[in-house]
Amino acid sequence: MTDAPGTYALLLQNEERQEIEVGALGEMIVRPGVYVYVGSAFGPGGLRARVGRHARGDGALHWHVDYLRAATALEAVWYTHDPERRECTWAAVLRALSGASVPVDGFGASDCTCPGHLVRVAEWPSWDRFRDHLHARVDTHSAVCRAPGAPLS
């Protein structure tokens, strides 16, 4: 992962049911399972700066995902340095996985018309299936990589 721009997914594991406050969205019930949040980083410092911030979990609670990140464990990050913003496509692929649901309408999707950029799955999502579906939708998509959560901080 470099400081070039790109799109990423945070795979956040939650063990126990909890209720958290998510800024203006209000109360959110976080159930056991895997929450996958999709974002993009096209500002200074690119992907490495943004994902590093998520991995450390420090700083002000600014985006919706900051509240969820503070309450869960970051297990892995999937990312691409594709020069196009791919977050809506990534979110669509994740929403289409079997057993996937959108836990909170509009989460992380203030600037687009997606149902949400946060998807919950009961089981760990298949990396191979995710990549296959992504490349099937966008045949010019750049390589997709993955990294474990902890070493990124």
Is 92 one of the binding residues for Zn ion (CB under 5 A)?
Answer: no
Is 102 one of the binding residues for Zn ion (CB under 5 A)?
Answer: no
Q: Which is nearer to Zn ion, 37 or 67 (by Cβ)?
A: 37
- The label of the residue with tokens 């450390």 reads 56
Choose the stretch contacting Zn ion; rule: CB under 5 A; options: 19-27, 64-72, 112-120, 145-153.
112-120
Residue least distant from Zn ion (Cβ): 114
Shortest distance, position 114 Cβ to Zn ion, whole Å: 3
| CA end-to-end span of the chain | 12
Q: Which is nearer to Zn ion, 11 or 119 (by Cβ)?
A: 119
Helix (H, G, I), strand (E, B) or coil at 61: coil
Residues 27-56: x where in contact with Zn ion by CB under 5 A, - otherwise, as a string: ------------------------------
Residue partners of 129: CB distance under 8 A and separation at least 6:
97
Shortest distance, position 90 Cβ to Zn ion, whole Å: 9
Is 112 one of the binding residues for Zn ion (CB under 5 A)?
Answer: yes
Which of 109, 118, 134, 144 touches Zn ion by CB under 5 A? Answer: 109
Which of 20, 25, 71, 88 touches Zn ion by CB under 5 A? Answer: 88
Measure the CA–CA gap between 40 and 51, rounded to whole angstroms: 10
Task: Decide if 46 contacts 3 (C-beta within 8 A).
Answer: yes
Phi, psi of 113 (to 5 degrees): -110, 15
Nearest to 116 by CA among 124, 108, 128: 108
Which two structure tokens, joined as six digits, stand for 3?
Answer: 């400081």
**Which spans of this chain sit near Zn ion (rule: CB under 5 A)?**
88, 109, 112, 114
